[in-house]
Structure 1
């Protein structure tokens, strides 16, 4: 409780100093405009003082019960978030067999671009082919050459 009361009093003192010597103090701690607006000295001083006085009031009226309850809720929430699992991240081999369409023509010797759907998301990749492929042609991915390029072949119907 003493720490919170000290924070409250220090915040009030800093607020008074910022009102009396605001331009001088902000000039000493000038970080290229970083301390303007939301991080100005009066705002920070008001936040620190309210944190201290609110902490003192809560601790004085509820004792350790409120802190224990907040700690327990924080522990339960962090456990729930740690158990949250996501799907596996797609790898280069997951591209093999994916359908796509050419968005930049692919020359016989060089790279073009294809738009492929990976895990439901459109991904633009550099593409290489053994034969020239025109823009708009539907393709299949034959191999993943790197994380950003694939070998494709045109779909024959």
Structure 2
């Protein structure tokens, strides 16, 4: 029973280490089909080992069975936990939400942080994917610092054309 408890605790330690050192330990299993969403990823292995150990200990202690039956029950439970961990990890990695792009700025509002002259560029603060990003901005007429503006078009990856918000 002590061996089973040791496996269970070792699996929990492996899970904690794989969480703390996120991508560092994953390289150890890359050649075997590991990786962050592989069947041999560290969370899957940790779940399998923990379930095998704790289920084996419970089977031996509670039911009073032998080592063979406890090992069989542990392997079955470990397989189920490992498979569920793998499926859950793949579902998390397959979010499906596209990364925000600069073209997504068209039609959004922002604030002028450096006044925009009649000819030339000023700066505006916009939010792309929830993060504040400063862009060079061009406008048809001068726009004062602190004014709210709408993005009419994206000129390049670092500049936009804006117009003042009329209220």
Query: Out of 75, 87, 91, which is 2:97 matched to?
Result: 87
Distance 1:142 1:64 in 2: 65
Q: What SS class does the counterpart of residue 126 from structure 2 fall into?
A: strand
**Are positions 1:73 and 2:73 aligned together?**
no
Structure 1, gaps ≥5 residues long: 1-57
Q: What SS class does the counterpart of residue 115 from structure 1 fall into?
A: strand
Distance 2:116 2:80 in 1: 59
What's the TM-score once normalised by structure 1's chain length? 0.51
Partner of 1:101: 111
Distance 2:157 2:120 in 1: 17
Partner of 1:141: 151
Q: How does 1:39-54 map to 2 (within 5 A)?
A: none
Distance 2:74 2:116 in 1: 66
Q: CA deviation at 1:136?
A: 0.6
Any runs of at least 4 consecutive aligned residues in structure 1 with deviations exceeding 4 A, and if so which? Answer: none
Partner of 1:128: 138
Distance 1:72 1:146 in 2: 51
The 8 Å contact of residues 102 and 128 in structure 2, kept in 1 or not, is answered as no
Partner of 2:123: 113
Q: CA deviation at 1:63?
A: 2.9
What's the TM-score once normalised by structure 2's chain length? 0.48
The size of the alignment, in residue pairs, is: 102
Query: Out of 128, 136, 152, which is 2:162 matched to?
Result: 152
Structure 2, gaps ≥5 residues long: 1-52, 57-66
Highest CA radius of gyration, 1 or 2? 1
Moved more, 147-156 or 65-74: 65-74
